[in-house]
Chain A
Amino acid sequence: MESAVLSGEHFFNGDVACAEGALAAGCRFFAGYPITPATEIAEHMSKRLPGVGGHFIQMEDEISAMAAIIGASCAGVKSMTATSGPGFSLMMENIGLGIAMETPCVLVNVQRAGPSTGLPTLGAQGDMMQARWGSHGHYEIIALAPSSPQEIFYQTITAFNLSETYRVPVLVMADEIVGHLSERVIIPDASKIKLQSRPRPKGRKDRFKPFHPGPNGVAPMAHAGEGYMVHFTGLTHDERGYPVMTAEAQAEMMERITGKIRRNLDKIIQVEKYRLEDADIAIVSYGISSRSSQAAVDEAREQGIKAGLLRLLTVWPFPEDMIRELARRVKCLITVELNLGQIHLEVQRCSEGKAPALLIGHAGGSAITPEEILEKIKKQASGS
Chain B
Amino acid sequence: MNAATTQKHPLDGMLRTDRIPHIWCPGCGIGTVFSSSLIAISSMGTDPMKTAVVSGIGCSGRGAGYVNLDSYHTTHGRAIPFATGMKLANPELTVVVFSGDGDLFAIGGNHFIHAARRNMDLTVICVNNLNYGMTGGQAAATTPHLAKTSTTQRGNPEGPFNLPLLAYACGATFIARWTMLHTRDLTQSISEALTHTGFSFIEVLAPCPTGYGRKNKLKNSDLLKVYQEKAIIKNGANPAETILDMEQGITLGKFVEYDRPTYADNYKSVNCD
Q: CB within 8 Å of B: which of A87-126?
A: 93-94, 96-97, 101
A353 at the interface (CB under 8 A from B): no
Given contacts A225-B90, A242-B19, A242-B65, contact A230 B110 (CB under 8 A): no
Given contacts A225-B70, A225-B92, contact A94 B84 (CB under 8 A): no
Q: Check A77 against B110 for contact (C-beta < 8 Å).
A: no
For B73-85 the 0/1 string (1 means CB < 8 A from A) is: 1110110111111
A55 at the interface (CB under 8 A from B): yes
Taking CB atoms, residues of chain A closer than 8 Å to B44 are: none
B260 at the interface (CB under 8 A from A): no
How many Å lie between the Cα of A242 and that of B114 in the bound state? 31
Task: Give the distance to chain A from B56, nearest Cβ to Cβ, in Å.
Answer: 10
B25 at the interface (CB under 8 A from A): no
Q: Check A243 against B85 for contact (C-beta < 8 Å).
A: no
B188 at the interface (CB under 8 A from A): no
A320 at the interface (CB under 8 A from B): no
Q: CB within 8 Å of B: which of A230-247?
A: 230-235, 242-243
Q: Check A64 against B78 for contact (C-beta < 8 Å).
A: yes
Given contacts A229-B69, A232-B73, A234-B75, contact A75 B84 (CB under 8 A): no
Q: Check A55 against B267 for contact (C-beta < 8 Å).
A: yes
Q: Check B88 against A72 for contact (C-beta < 8 Å).
A: yes
Most B CB contacts (10 A, CB to CB) among A70, A75, A79 go to A75
Q: Check A71 against B110 for contact (C-beta < 8 Å).
A: no
User: Nearest residue in B to A242 (C-beta to C-beta)?
Assistant: B19
How many Å lie between the Cα of A69 and that of B80 in the bound state? 12
User: Nearest residue in A to B79 (C-beta to C-beta)?
Assistant: A67
B68 at the interface (CB under 8 A from A): yes
Interface residues on B, range: 35 or more
Q: CB within 8 Å of A: which of B73-124?
A: 73-75, 77-78, 80-90, 92-93, 110-111, 114
Q: Check B73 against A231 for contact (C-beta < 8 Å).
A: yes
How many Å lie between the Cα of A60 and that of B89 in the bound state? 18
Residue in B49, B54, B271, B272 whose beta carbon sits within 8 Å of that of A71 in the complex: B54
User: Nearest residue in B to A69 (C-beta to C-beta)?
Assistant: B85
How many Å lie between the Cα of A243 and that of B16 in the bound state? 12
Q: Check B74 against A231 for contact (C-beta < 8 Å).
A: no
Given contacts A69-B85, A71-B85, A234-B75, contact A229 B92 (CB under 8 A): no
For A199-233 the 0/1 string (1 means CB < 8 A from B) is: 00000000000000000000000011111111111
Q: CB within 8 Å of B: which of A49-83?
A: 50, 55, 57, 59-61, 63-65, 67-77, 79
User: Nearest residue in A to B86 (C-beta to C-beta)?
Assistant: A71
B50 at the interface (CB under 8 A from A): yes
Task: Give the distance to chain B from A93, nearest Cβ to Cβ, in Å.
Answer: 6
Q: Check A72 against B73 for contact (C-beta < 8 Å).
A: no
Taking CB atoms, residues of chain B closer than 8 Å to A224 are: 52, 70, 72, 86, 90, 93
User: Nearest residue in B to A51 (C-beta to C-beta)?
Assistant: B271
User: Nearest residue in A to B272 (C-beta to C-beta)?
Assistant: A50
Q: Check B90 against A64 for contact (C-beta < 8 Å).
A: no
Q: Check B73 against A55 for contact (C-beta < 8 Å).
A: no
Taking CB atoms, residues of chain B closer than 8 Å to A242 are: 16, 18-19, 65
User: Nearest residue in B to A235 (C-beta to C-beta)?
Assistant: B73
Taking CB atoms, residues of chain B closer than 8 Å to A29 are: 85, 88-89
Q: Check B75 against A68 for contact (C-beta < 8 Å).
A: no
Given contacts A94-B75, A225-B92, contact A233 B65 (CB under 8 A): yes
13 example contacts (A-B, Cβ-Cβ < 8 A) are as follows: A61-B110, A63-B78, A64-B80, A67-B81, A69-B85, A71-B85, A77-B89, A79-B85, A223-B90, A224-B52, A224-B70, A231-B71, A234-B74
Closest 9 pairs (CB-CB, A-B): A71-B85, A68-B85, A64-B81, A50-B271, A72-B85, A72-B89, A75-B89, A233-B73, A71-B82
